[in-house]
Structure 1
Amino acid sequence: MRHLLVRLATVLAGVTVLAAPTAASVNLDVAGFGPAHHALAGHGVGYNINGYNWGGYAATGSGFTSVSATWTTPSATCNSRSDLYAPWVGLDGYGSSSVEQTGVATDCSSGRAVNEPWYEMYPAAPVYLSTSSYPVAAGNVIHASVTYAGGSSFTLTLTNQSRGWTYTTTKSLSGARRSSAEVIIESPPGRYPNFGTISFTGSTVNGSSLSSFNPVALDPSNGVYEAHTGALSGGNFSITYQHE
């Protein structure tokens, strides 16, 4: 596994770091996929609420115990070596300073799109799985879930249904509020590869369809809207690339 500092030193070269609003500064040793940055701007014409570094849907409230979703890994085209993004599911992070999350990152730092499964108990650094043991390719169907296991523990599960592997881990995080549940795409540096359209299906929160929680719809924007989140039907929705 490459150290995150090496990864982000390449990704963030010449790019303004998108810090979480609750952090006084960004430490590259722990920076990664993290809480939503709540931008002051509201809606763009034809767009949803500006999620800054998040796109997708976030359910808000209290007592969230689980979130899950399925998606097909897009074939992404890198615009530059700075591009980095990930679809993921998680608890917390929308209005709180911790996130319990898992998904698949697409990293362009090598000059081509490399898909890397990971999990993160933010503010700890993300943990990337071995791509030889847990490979992900364009077209692979991914199912991800995060479940509250009691106390300060959470179980994170990532399954590649196309390749037939599953990774599960249970980790502890003190202070987690369980005040939101999300199905999200995120680019920490605010630079997306062209992923076309990614469709999430069967998204659930606490065992019920995502739509039953009236979640907030978010579009990522770093000066321009980088992607657009479509309408939610039950647990199904799509996000379409707009700009890097």
Structure 2
Amino acid sequence: MRRFLIRVATVAAAAAFAAPAVPATAAAAPGLSFRPLHYNINGYNWGGYAATGSGFTSVSAAWTEANATCNSTNDLYAPWVGIDGYGSSTVEQTGVATDCSSGSPVHQAWYEMYPASPVYLSRTSYPVAAGDHITASVTNTSGSTYALKLTDSTRGWTYSINKSLSAQRASAEVIIESPTGAYPNFGTLNFTSATVNGSSLGSYGPTALDPSNGAYEARTSALGTSGTSFSETYLRE
């Protein structure tokens, strides 16, 4: 496996889901195969920021779903937020995947409590389209209980669920990921309101990640002066 291509970033340097009674879930969109996050922990396909250390209890961020263009049927990527995953054997995460296996981009909301398999939300009950405003959060509410919440304010839905998992809580991430190592052309995706433990993501001096598969596929910007925003810019598949 290739190692992450990383840059250490700090704020200083940056300055230079109400749930239904029965959750509606579904199989992944045709061809969608969002692999467990830890599969690529020593891999090459993350972009964004990971705060590391201990005692991480919450992470949240918002973004506008990108109007992606498929380069090939292999293209697959997802913006997400999560706890653990960066060097841990568990992960608690939620976001929206964009799959190109049909030849056109298909957006589907999901969450995952690895080592359990990812759960994909019904695209009928929880539709997502390009241009939708998404807010995602993962919160350790007590002990081994986590609240995962995903909101599409454009479509007017919120999905939330509580799940249990014994986890290390050793990192918190705001990330784009391509399990296939092939990104569709998503242009520029802006993350905003990125917080960890109720404070700005930047206050934790997070590690900046640039996805690469032989060459850089996207570029992660510096954090904004507030430490809560940054952008991902597509470079190549």
Query: Could you tell me the TM-score, scaled by structure 1's length?
Result: 0.82
Equivalence map 1:39-118=2 (5 Å): 52-118=44-110
Name which of 159, 162, 166 aligns with 2:154: 162
State the shift of 1:37 in Å.
Answer: 2.5
Counterpart in the other structure of 1:147: 139
Runs of 4+ that moved beyond 4 A:
3-6
Name which of 208, 216, 228 aligns with 2:219: 228
Contact kept, 8 Å, 2:31 with 2:101, in 1: the verdict is: no
Unaligned ranges ≥5, structure 2: 1-25
Counterpart in the other structure of 1:27: none
Name which of 20, 27, 36 aligns with 1:2: 27
Q: Which has the higher contact order (CA 8 A, sep 6+)?
A: 2
Partner Cα separation in structure 2 for residue 144 and residue 37 of structure 1: 21
Counterpart in the other structure of 1:138: 130
Are 1:210 and 2:213 an aligned pair? no
Unaligned ranges ≥5, structure 1: 9-30, 40-51
- Matched residues, number: 209
Query: Could you tell me the TM-score, scaled by structure 2's length?
Result: 0.85
C-alpha distance 3-204 of structure 1, shift in aligned 2 (>3 A): closer
| C-alpha RMSD of the superposition | 1.5
Percent identity of paired positions between Structure 1 and Structure 2: 67
Contact kept, 8 Å, 1:69 with 1:201, in 2: the verdict is: yes
What secondary structure does 1:211 align onto?
helix
Partner Cα separation in structure 2 for residue 75 and residue 239 of structure 1: 13
Contact kept, 8 Å, 1:33 with 1:187, in 2: the verdict is: no
What secondary structure does 1:7 align onto?
coil
Equivalence map 1:13-32=2 (5 Å): 32=35
What secondary structure does 1:170 align onto?
strand
Counterpart in the other structure of 1:37: 41
Are 1:181 and 2:206 an aligned pair? no
